Structure 1
């Protein structure tokens, strides 16, 4: 009986620590979200890496994105040779290699739509939070928060968000899939409230005279 009581006490203490850590983790994520929402705009240079040992896949790409505040959702994204512009109403996908442009309406009710602003705030719901490792990366202290999807249908096993506790900025996001795929988005440069032209989030059709335009809506 004494042994059972000892085990029960250990379990209760462990649960208490875990609960505290979860609140601590959620608190840091809330700070990150509030900080992101406070900026007029955000400009990010990033590196994207995809690794799947089973399929022998290793890919790396670089890109950049400008976001006009998280609330407006407007963005200008350049990634893997493709430019995507969202002006608040429509999404313009420009593919120079094919000289083709696709134009579609943005469905704000589509919860599965992936946008740059969602990438910075996706962690606000749908996950369990765990306080993870504090690592020293290139002289910076990076605190990791582990996100575990609540839905069993989610193909992601877990997500690790690396956060600079000093700036409350995201350093990287690591997604680990149930199939062993690991994707890492690392922020190389994070600038805020920069002077941008008023047309930075506007598509100008006259710039692409020889492109085929596919109007999807």
Structure 2
């Protein structure tokens, strides 16, 4: 009887500890998300590493709108439609909101994607470049190609430091924010698509 009681106690402690860790992870993520909502806009320089090569890019986010320049391709969302501009092919793909889920850039949703479809685990803490980085492990509740995601959070500034996607085949992709600026002076036409700028481009409209 004592053994059963001991096992039940250990099980209860384990469940309670897990719940507390999950709550702490969710709380930290919510604090980061809440802080980003106070910004008028965000401008980020980032690196993307797939284990074979590392490339850099830039993202500007203002509310639901964003502009991402990455690997020579520009991806813009004006709040209603997505525009993918490929200078190499002289092609522009346009899609309305109903088509944007598969197109949305990871960097543009790095600060909000966690809110649906994940469970949380309080993970390791590291000091990187003098910054205290707390990692949160996110486990997808649906069965897709991603096994788990690690978000590194700068605990002092409450900002995302990096995101690591671990796929079921063992491969990894890492997005690291190299610079993070807020409330910048942006052009009023930054998120406006002007067809006249691309006179010779083929327009692929998915709507």
Runs of 4+ in structure 1 deviating by more than 4 angstroms, as ranges, are: 110-113
Deviation for aligned residue 1:30: 0.8
> For residues 97 and 141 of structure 2, what CA distance do their matches in structure 1 show?
27
The yes-or-no answer on 1:68 pairing with 2:62 is yes
Q: How many residues align?
A: 206
Determine the structure 2 residue equivalent to 1:54: none
> For residues 137 and 204 of structure 2, what CA distance do their matches in structure 1 show?
41
Deviation for aligned residue 1:40: 1.0
Structure 2 length-normalised TM:
0.91
Q: How does 1:1-12 map to 2 (within 5 A)?
A: 1-12=1-12
Deviation for aligned residue 1:11: 2.4
The counterpart of 1:198, out of the listed 180, 188, 204, is 188
The yes-or-no answer on 1:174 pairing with 2:140 is no
> For residues 118 and 203 of structure 2, what CA distance do their matches in structure 1 show?
40
> For residues 135 and 2 of structure 1, what CA distance do their matches in structure 2 show?
40
Q: How does 1:120-199 map to 2 (within 5 A)?
A: 120-151=111-142, 153-199=143-189
> For residues 162 and 81 of structure 2, what CA distance do their matches in structure 1 show?
28
> For residues 67 and 173 of structure 1, what CA distance do their matches in structure 2 show?
17
**Conserved? CA contact 2:123–2:135, under 8 Å:** yes
Deviation for aligned residue 1:99: 1.9
The yes-or-no answer on 1:83 pairing with 2:77 is no
Distance 1:61 1:3, change over 3 A: same
**Conserved? CA contact 2:40–2:182, under 8 Å:** yes
| 3-state SS of paired residue (2:98) | coil
Deviation for aligned residue 1:23: 0.7
Structure 2 gap ranges (5+): none
Instruction: Give the aligned CA root-mean-square deviation in angstroms.
Output: 1.8
Deviation for aligned residue 1:159: 0.8
| 3-state SS of paired residue (2:109) | helix
Structure 1 length-normalised TM:
0.87
> For residues 108 and 175 of structure 2, what CA distance do their matches in structure 1 show?
14
> For residues 128 and 6 of structure 1, what CA distance do their matches in structure 2 show?
28
Deviation for aligned residue 1:168: 1.0
